[in-house]
Every structure is written in structure tokens, then in C-alpha cells.
Amino acid sequence: MPDESGDQNQSDDPLDLVWCLIALVVGGVLAFKVLYAMGVRENEELSLKEIVIGLALLMGPVFILRTAADHLYKDVKTGKITIATYWTTIGGICVAALSLVGVTSIDDLIGLIK
């Protein structure tokens, strides 16, 4: 929703891409694990159903975290919370999301790539 200056209720901070990249990692790990559990293997063609599921799992965390970030940034603009609280909350959500999909260290990501 645009405010009086015409811009979206978003921070202009380039660090906002940090949470977006982490959300993409979470979505990628989630999509990989679910598709692997469905029996999709390397060098196989994906069906339309598998492509849709993979894209939904990949982009779902990005949309969810974007919504949370928008709500938190509205609180920053109204003075309910500080920008430090905003980043602490976003960081906590990202860490919890990574832990939820089983990524607790960089070794976990390297293991998935192999």
C-alpha cells in the first residue's frame, strides 16, 4: 500500500536482500527434500505436477518472510519498534526457518549439493 510519498511500505536498505536470499535457501532445501522424497532423481524429466510443487516450495518462504517483513516495517515506521528489533526478529525467523528444514551449518548445505 503506497504511503504519501508514493513508495511502498518497504525499507530502502539493501540489506533487505539478506532475508530474501536466506528465504530462497530455505525454499530450495525444502523443494529438494520434498522432490527427493517423491522419488524424483537426477537426470529425470519433471512432470508438471512436480514442477509446480517445486516452485511453490521454493517461493513460498520468500512470500511468507516478505509479508512478515512488511508488517514489521510498518511497526518501525509508526514507532512501535526500532530498526534493531526489526532486524533481530527477521534474523530469528530466518534462523528458525533454516533449522526447521534441517540446515544448522554450512556443512548441511554442502551435503545437499553433493
Is 50 within 8 Å of 34 (Cβ atoms)? no
Three cell numbers written together for 23: 528465504
Averaged pLDDT, 58-81:
90
pLDDT score of 52: 94
Q: Over the stretch 14-37, which tens digit does the pLDDT of each residue have?
A: 667 788 888 999 999 999 889 888
Q: Over the stretch 96-105, which tens digit does the pLDDT of each residue have?
A: 999 998 888 8
> pTM above the 0.85 mark?
no
Smallest CA-to-CA distance from 94 within 58, 69, 57, 70 is with 69
Chain-centre distance for alpha carbon 24: 5
